Amino acid sequence: MTLIDALYINKGGGAVLLQYLIETILAGAHKDKFFFLLDPRFEIPAQLTTNYSVIPNKVSERVKFYKQHRNDYTKVFCFANTPPPIKMKVPAYTYMHNQKLLEAPKYKFKKMFWTQYIKYLFIKRYNSNTDYYIVQTPHMVKELVEVGLKDNKHCLTIPFYDNKKYIGGGKPFAQRPLDEFVFISNPSPQKNYPNLLNAWEYLLQNGHTPTLHVTIDHTAPALLERVRLLNERGTKIVNHTYVDPRELYFNCAYLIFPSIMESFGLPLIEAADSGMKIIASDLPFVYDVVTPSLTFNPNDPKAIANTVLEAISNPNLHTPTIVTQNQVNELVELLV
């Protein structure tokens, strides 16, 4: 039996992928060959009724679990960046899905990276306990090798995502309003919300008021206040806090993606599947996933704003294509 250790996964893109992986396993022939270790905050799928355990997401509890069950599994797959806390006698794989952790050593003297650097040191402590890292894109392999955690042959690129969730569900592009842009994301620093909002301010100053849909929650009060003040001045920024992106993806014209750091960029795929066109940061992680319609320098609000205007004025922009492929079945076979 294979252990899927997802103890530190509870929300965001990681939870979406974990949910999909569990559903894929339970629908397949190997469903009885997996055991899931889950975080108390993770919403357990209704189909998962056996072969799982929920324990407190504490290091001590994780160590205790591994020591108690060290002889129960034939393989281990850690889903939340962190290798097993003890050395196992069976093959161990770790899914690395946080690029910021790998960037942290370069910026350890910057306050915004301190927490991530501590987490990186924690991962490095257990690095020898995993045989392989599994990642979604080639640029994540490059990051792992550069930081010295593993060499190329011990980094496996196996992208997976639900490639049927949004396909064919949206309005034809010609029926969508060309001045509506969507950015579905939490307000983490790498998502680059300040420059995006600065771009919308620049647009306002130049007489343009396209609609921007965002999802900024209570963890970023400064951004919430910035949105409020901009809207008072005349911008059209709609904050949904949290929303199922389906309706936005199916009805709006453009995904705008100003992130400066992503391990995968799942919204890029979701948007392309939904019939949107994509304007995004001119960075490697974007091209690993899709061919965007337009790109911009994410550090330059004026460049972002000008690209928005170019998109609005040109409905015949290149339709994005998905570069990566869903390999969830290959992942399951590897773990079996």
Please check whether residues 226 and 298 belong to one and the same domain.
Answer: yes
Please check whether residues 312 and 225 belong to one and the same domain.
Answer: yes
Confidence at residue 169, expressed as pLDDT on a 0 to 100 scale: 77
Single-letter amino acid, residue 90 = V
Please check whether residues 210 and 316 belong to one and the same domain.
Answer: yes
Q: pLDDT digit string (tens) for 213-250?
A: 999 999 999 999 999 999 999 999 999 988 889 999 99
**Rounded average pLDDT per 10-residue block, the chain, 336 residues:** 94 86 94 95 91 94 96 95 94 92 82 84 94 94 93 95 83 92 91 97 98 95 97 97 90 96 89 95 94 97 98 92 93 95
CB contact set of 21 (below 8 Å; sequence gap of 6+) = 4, 79, 160, 328, 331, 332
Confidence at residue 76, expressed as pLDDT on a 0 to 100 scale: 98
Among residues 268, 203, 264, 260, the alpha carbon closest in space to that of 237 is found at 203
- Gap between the Cα atoms of 115 and 99, Å rounded: 14
Confidence at residue 101, expressed as pLDDT on a 0 to 100 scale: 84
Please check whether residues 189 and 157 belong to one and the same domain.
Answer: no
Please check whether residues 144 and 229 belong to one and the same domain.
Answer: no
Which CATH number characterizes residue 310's domain? 3.40.50.2000
Residue 180 lies in a domain: yes
Total number of domains in the chain: 2
Residue 168 lies in a domain: no
Please check whether residues 73 and 129 belong to one and the same domain.
Answer: yes
CB contact set of 333 (below 8 Å; sequence gap of 6+) = none
Please check whether residues 114 and 203 belong to one and the same domain.
Answer: no
Please check whether residues 150 and 177 belong to one and the same domain.
Answer: no
Per-residue burial over 8-31, b = 16 or more CB atoms within 10 Å of its CB, e = otherwise: bbbeebbbbbbbbbbebbbeeeeb
Residue 315 lies in a domain: yes
Confidence at residue 189, expressed as pLDDT on a 0 to 100 scale: 86
- Gap between the Cα atoms of 195 and 203, Å rounded: 12
Please check whether residues 26 and 84 belong to one and the same domain.
Answer: yes
Please check whether residues 247 and 151 belong to one and the same domain.
Answer: no
Residue 269 lies in a domain: yes
Residue 200's SS3 state is: helix
Please check whether residues 318 and 330 belong to one and the same domain.
Answer: no
Please check whether residues 56 and 69 belong to one and the same domain.
Answer: yes
Confidence at residue 188, expressed as pLDDT on a 0 to 100 scale: 86
Contact 271, 295 (CB under 8 A): no
Owning domain of residue 201: 173-322
